[in-house]
Every structure is written in C-alpha cells, then in structure tokens.
Structure 1
Amino acid sequence: MAIHRANIAMPPSLLSLPSATAKPPVFRVDIPLLPESAVGSALQFIDLLRGANLLASQRQGAQAPRLAWRLLDAEGLPLAPLPGPLAAYTTPDEQATGPAPAHALLIPSFHAPDIPGIRAVAARHQALSRQLGIALDAGQKLLTVGNGAWLAAQSGRLNGRQACLPWFYVAGFERDFPGIGHSLGQDLSEDGPWLSCALPSSVNLLVMALARHALGPELGTACETVMAPDHQRARAALQANAQQHIPATRDSALARAIAWMEAHLDEPYSLARLAEAASVSTRTLLRHFQQELSQSPLDHLHSLRCARARVMLEVTLESVPSIAVACGYADPAAFRRIFVRYTGMAPAEYRKRHALRAPRRRWRVDVK
C-alpha cells in the first residue's frame, strides 16, 4: 500500500475547532452523484464512514466525534430518501443537514468508455466543477476516486498539486491538465486539501486519511488498524483464539517447524523439540531458518508471540502479565523487553494507542 503525502499544512481538524455547544463534533462530507457516477464506490465510502463512527463510539462513547454524509444530485440538492436497504445511505442525518457548508466533498469515479468519454462527462458537469472550486476556496477538503479527478481539476484550483490516477488515465489527464503532477506508483495522494485515490479498491485509504484529519490521530490510528489489510494480525488472531490445524500441503522442514511454533506459542522454547517436530537435526533447522528467513528460530518465535500479544492488547483487557503468559513468557519483564524490541513501544503504550474497545466492555482470552 503506497501513499503520497505532500508536506503541506492541512486545515484544522474538527477536534481543534472551538465548540459552542456540548454536542460532539460532526465532520460532514457531501457526495454529489451524477447520472454517470459509479455509485458503488460512494456507498462503500459511506459504509467505511459508518465503521469509523462505530469504532469512535466504542472508544469514546456518546461524546466521540463522528463523520456524517449527504448524498446530493447533480444540482447539489439532497437525494430523496430511498426505501429498503438504501434507506441507511439516503435518510437525512439531523447533524448532516442545515445551511452550514460541508467540511469535505467526495467525487466518486464515473462510467465512461474512454478518455473522450471522460472529457464529455466533465464538459456536461462544469457547473459542479465550479462549485468544487468555490468549496476549495472556502477551505473544504476534496476527495476524488479515479476519473473523478477530472471534475476536480476542471475547477482550476489544483494547479501545482499531485493527483493519484489509474495508469491508463495518466497520459490523457496530463494532456488536459499539464499543471497537475502525478503520484506515480501510489495508491493514494494527499496534497493539501486534495485527497485522491486511483481505484475504488483504495477507497479505504481515503477514509483512513480523512479519519486522521477529522477525528484526530488516536481515532485515525484505530481506523487504520481495522481498515487496512493485515495478514499477520489475522493469523495471530486465529492462533490466539484457538490452535489451528496446518494444511497437509505445508510439508517442508521450515513449514513444519513454523506450524509447530504456532501451535505451541505459549510453551517454553526448546530447539531440540522444534527440530524433532520438523524431522531434522538442530543444525539443519538453524540453517533453514537462516537461509530462508535470515533469523534464528527463537527470533521468529518472538515475532509470532509479539503478533499474538498485539492482538490481545488490541481486543482484550487482560493484564500485561496475563498476556505475557498467553504468549509464552513466564517473566513479564522479559516480555516487555522483547515487545519493545519488536514493536518499538512498551505493551501499555501499544494498548493506549491501538486498543479497539472501551474499558466498559471486556473481551477475555482464557489462559489455561
């Protein structure tokens, strides 16, 4: 996952603005939908906003800041509520309505067969581009997905900025807007008020960047923990929940050794027992680990244990000594030293930054 961030001062987040009332702050995103819009990316964006709100409420309760949205038509008017499953996307939010301007606008990608087709759509919606220019002048943020960047660039306010586009649009965009640069090889570009992602599959990156700005660094980091794919966390979570059976296709000595480690994370380390499980000598096992992973079996075991510890610190309220035992460390002080070595921070500090649950709810992992 590659992200370009320009070193440019950003407008203040909601959390830095003075509040005249006791109500929690609300950051509103307006989403104009054109007849040509790819509506799916807009709905995905809203689903992720809802997920961010849920996470914020779990961590900070009723006073948590929240993200709100409005779906608008091409003229800038709110869409009428729709029945059925779409009601949750179109029902007016009391805190998202009213005369106050939005804090940001999202321009989803739209359907067009080729570059001339994109130019035709942009030409039909110059009024929207003018409104985007007014919004940028007022200090609002602008988020675009894919070829939605054409409508943003057409505002005339983004010369000198960087955009993120699919590779197959770059040449055409360069011809139309030579004053705008390209974040080549990136999935997301953050340049001042403009956040752009190349593909709908990167909409989660837009929401994570928006959450950092609108909800503050703590909740922004929590959103990244949940919304960014993390295969190591997934594996550690499974192992922490229950010991998993290893597929029969994992048949190399190294794979057998790692599988045994995963199934016995909470047991004392023994190189001899590990080599026996892998059906090789200790010397051969050490050579395999060094050749393939550039580390010793013990170093790899520490990394697996720390991955489990990260998950437990994030989703449980178990004490650090209890987590140490669940991860194979009888001495909490030794666990703290190793955790700092592998993560760069102490377990308590990691929990403070990354815990997904508020203290009022308790998730327990039994340690037998």
Structure 2
Amino acid sequence: MPPSPAFSPAPAAPPPAFCVDIPLLPESAAGNALQFIDLLRSANLLARLRLGAQAPRMAWRLVDAQGTPLPPGSGPLASCLAAYFPEQEPAGTLAQALFIPSLHATDIPAIRAVAARHSALSRRVGVALDAGHQLLTVGNGAWLAAHSGRLNGCHASLPWFYVAGFKRDFPAIHHSLGRDWSEDGPWLSCALPQSLHLLAIALVRHALGDALAATCESVMGPDHQRARAALQANAQQHIPATRDSTLARAIDWMEAHLDAPYSLPRLAEAAAVSPRTLLRHFQQELSQSPLDYLHGLRCARARVMLEVTLESVPSIATACGYADPAAFRRIFARYTGMAPSEYRQRHALRAPRRRWRVEMK
C-alpha cells in the first residue's frame, strides 16, 4: 500500500479586526483622518512583523453622521480617502470605536453651529458609549462628543483657545490642563493633531494588548537618544547588516529560476532549510505553499509578456516554466480570472503586427 500523503493542517484564521468608524462631515479636517489611518496602518505593519500572518489588526471605515459607510462617489473628500486607503472594512463590520476629527470652523459660535447641524452624530456617540465602545476626539471635535450627554465628569484635552468656551457650554466636563492628550475611561482626546500618535498607541493598547502598544510606542514617537545610540553603535560596527531570511532566500532563488522545473528539495537547499521547514515558513507567513507563490510569480511574468510582446501563448508558457501550454492556460485563468488570449486582448500595449509601419509619413 502506498504511503498516505502528509497532512498539513489549514492555518488558523487570524482574529477579527478591531474596527474604528471615522465620520467625515463637510466640516471635518480630512488631514486628521489621513494621519490617524496612517498610524493604524503602521500598527498593523508592526503587528505583522512581530506575529506574522496571524497577527491581530486595526481596521477603519469612513462613514457619515448616521454611521452609514461612505461610497467612493459620495464627494471629493470621501473619494480621495477611499482611493488612498482602499482597504477599509465593508459595510457589515461592527465598529468598536469612533474617531471624530477636528472641525474647520472660524470661531466658537461656528463650532456650535456645526454641532447643531450634526446632532445625529452626537446621538450616535451616545449609542456607542452606551455599548462600551471607545471614543477618540481631536481638538474641537470634542463639541460633537460632549453633546451626547454621556461624558459629564470626564476629563478632556482641548487647545487652550477653546477651553473657556467649552467650559461655558459643558460645565460638567473637566479639562486636563497642561496635557497634550487625555484618557478618561472610554474617551481618548488630544488637543492638537501633533499628539494623534498618542491616541493611536492608547487605542492599540486597548484593542491589541500592551505588548503591541509598547512596540508602537517605541516606533511612532521621536526618540533622539535612541537615534544617537544607533548611529554610535553603527559607527563602531556593533550593529551588523540584516541577514537574509529563509523566505527571502527562497523567493530570490525562484525569481532567478522562474523557467526551471519546480523542485521543493532544490528550493529548500537554496534556502538552507529542510523542505518541511520551508513549507512551514511559507504557510505561516504567506498562507500559501512555495508552489502557489511560484505560480503567482510566473503569472506576473506572463502578464507582462502578453502585454508587451507578440510571442505566442505556448512560447510564453515555456518562458514562464510550463512545458504544457494547456496547464499554463489553466493556471493563468485561476490566478487572473481570464484566459491568456482574453488578457492579451484587454491589456496588450503593442499594436497587432498588421498595423506596424516601416516609417512614419
């Protein structure tokens, strides 16, 4: 009886994302939203570097005052942000935090008018706080949060020029004087955008744990002492160059031998590990096998050749490591969703040969 094939358990699914809703009003400071999303993306990158494909992650969603996700075509601001950050969460995702940017308003009466126009958002803040969600505000965005009626007795950080007017409107809310940011229960507030990274770190601590928050804190904030120490250690050659990883060695070899027949033992030898270890690294870090990754590299080359050359499909198959054109067609369709001939018809950058001219007239 032939031996049964080795069983490789499917990788565990990563934990669900911690989602933050970001209401965008016509008066919202879009730069706050951009900066905050960039900080969340940095936190995700750091988490993945430490924990691999199974790392928890922060997510975000652009919404209106009622909490409805903004479609890309709902205005220039939403279109810009959606194009820049296309990976926002879908409509059905349950948010666990609310981030309110500061408002473009000329003075305190104008801020009051904005808050009155968007009372639906203040009501939503109240619902979110009642559900135990986190609330984050920047600058005068605190007016919208305070109108929820759920923050009496809490402390908040505001720019000095808003403190007196805010105190008149909300006498039961206290001020964290002399502090750039404040955390009081579910409410995280900062006076100015320059302290946004502190809000992001505090939210990461709440959502992903102390260890990842500490990593973010060491990376996101300026640390001149560490910079000087790193330069000194580098000058004295105490910090060596980063060594190649197992995955990097394997991928480099595959890219250099794209048209060679696939051999797991040969690839493992190039990566200086056993085949079993190589399979484990690819599964843990990329959630796919080395062969699947190689098919992706080969199809990327095939797309380029279909776009810019007039080579036949069998010739392209050979150049991409497939001896059987039929197998190439099946794999290419699986990875791109269309046959090679259809892909060429849609994406070719070369004119058909019959249109070529020897010289321009």
Answer yes or no: is the 8 Å Cα contact 1:30–1:70 preserved in 2.
yes
The one of 14, 18, 28 aligned to 2:19: 28
AA of the residue aligned to 2:106: P
Who is 1:120 aligned against? 113
Q: Which has the larger radius of gyration?
A: 2
1:170–1:72 CA distance, 2 compared to 1 (3 A):
same
Answer yes or no: is the 8 Å Cα contact 1:56–1:65 preserved in 2.
yes
TM norm structure 1: 0.58
**1:128-176 deviation digits (Å, cap 9, x = unpaired):** 1001100100111000000000000000000010001001100000000
Q: Distance in 2 between matches of 1:240 and 1:140?
A: 44
Give the unaligned 5+ runs of structure 2.
Answer: 1-11, 244-284, 286-361
Who is 1:91 aligned against? 86
1:88–1:221 CA distance, 2 compared to 1 (3 A):
farther
Q: Distance in 2 between matches of 1:33 and 1:139?
A: 22
**Following TM superposition, by how much is the alpha carbon of 1:183 offset from its aligned partner in structure 2, in angstroms?**
0.5
TM norm structure 2: 0.59
Answer yes or no: is the 8 Å Cα contact 2:96–2:133 preserved in 1.
yes
Answer yes or no: is the 8 Å Cα contact 2:69–2:91 preserved in 1.
no
Given the alignment of the two structures, is residue 241 of structure 1 paired with residue 234 of structure 2, yes or no?
Answer: yes
The one of 31, 46, 63 aligned to 1:72: 63
1:219–1:39 CA distance, 2 compared to 1 (3 A):
same
Which SS does the other structure have where 1:147 is aligned?
A: helix
Q: Distance in 1 between matches of 2:82 and 2:161?
A: 35
**Following TM superposition, by how much is the alpha carbon of 1:90 offset from its aligned partner in structure 2, in angstroms?**
4.7
**1:90-125 deviation digits (Å, cap 9, x = unpaired):** 5354xx224343010000001111111111111111
Who is 1:102 aligned against? 95
**Following TM superposition, by how much is the alpha carbon of 1:86 offset from its aligned partner in structure 2, in angstroms?**
4.1
Given the alignment of the two structures, is residue 38 of structure 1 paired with residue 33 of structure 2, yes or no?
Answer: no
Instruction: State the number of aligned residues.
Output: 229
Answer yes or no: is the 8 Å Cα contact 1:26–1:68 preserved in 2.
yes
Q: Distance in 2 between matches of 1:90 and 1:22?
A: 24
Q: How does 1:248-259 map to 2 (within 5 A)?
A: none
Q: Distance in 1 between matches of 2:84 and 2:182?
A: 26
Answer yes or no: is the 8 Å Cα contact 2:14–2:55 preserved in 1.
no
Q: Distance in 2 between matches of 1:52 and 1:38?
A: 22
1:85–1:174 CA distance, 2 compared to 1 (3 A):
closer
Given the alignment of the two structures, is residue 51 of structure 1 paired with residue 42 of structure 2, yes or no?
Answer: yes
Q: Distance in 1 between matches of 2:167 and 2:23?
A: 25
Answer yes or no: is the 8 Å Cα contact 1:81–1:90 preserved in 2.
no
AA of the residue aligned to 1:28: C
Q: Distance in 1 between matches of 2:123 and 2:163?
A: 23
Q: How does 1:122-137 map to 2 (within 5 A)?
A: 122-137=115-130
Answer yes or no: is the 8 Å Cα contact 1:208–1:223 preserved in 2.
yes
Answer yes or no: is the 8 Å Cα contact 2:34–2:81 preserved in 1.
no
Answer yes or no: is the 8 Å Cα contact 1:71–1:90 preserved in 2.
no
Answer yes or no: is the 8 Å Cα contact 1:70–1:90 preserved in 2.
no
The one of 216, 226, 243 aligned to 1:223: 216
Q: Distance in 2 between matches of 1:67 and 1:119?
A: 32
AA of the residue aligned to 1:54: L
Q: Distance in 1 between matches of 2:167 and 2:123?
A: 20
Q: Distance in 2 between matches of 1:23 and 1:232?
A: 36
Which SS does the other structure have where 2:182 is aligned?
A: strand
Who is 1:169 aligned against? 162
1:36–1:65 CA distance, 2 compared to 1 (3 A):
same
AA of the residue aligned to 2:18: F
AA of the residue aligned to 1:91: P
1:101–1:142 CA distance, 2 compared to 1 (3 A):
same
Q: Work out which structure has the larger RCO, using CA pairs closer than 8 Å and 6 or more positions apart in sequence.
A: 1
Which SS does the other structure have where 1:46 is aligned?
A: helix
Q: How does 1:1-368 map to 2 (within 5 A)?
A: 22-81=13-72, 86-87=81-82, 89-91=84-86, 93=88, 96-242=89-235
Which SS does the other structure have where 1:184 is aligned?
A: coil
Answer yes or no: is the 8 Å Cα contact 1:81–1:91 preserved in 2.
no
**Following TM superposition, by how much is the alpha carbon of 1:75 offset from its aligned partner in structure 2, in angstroms?**
3.6
Answer yes or no: is the 8 Å Cα contact 1:79–1:90 preserved in 2.
no
Which SS does the other structure have where 2:189 is aligned?
A: strand
Q: Distance in 2 between matches of 1:75 and 1:144?
A: 17
CA RMSD across the alignment: 2.4
**Following TM superposition, by how much is the alpha carbon of 1:236 offset from its aligned partner in structure 2, in angstroms?**
1.8
1:78–1:85 CA distance, 2 compared to 1 (3 A):
closer
Which SS does the other structure have where 1:31 is aligned?
A: strand
AA of the residue aligned to 1:230: D
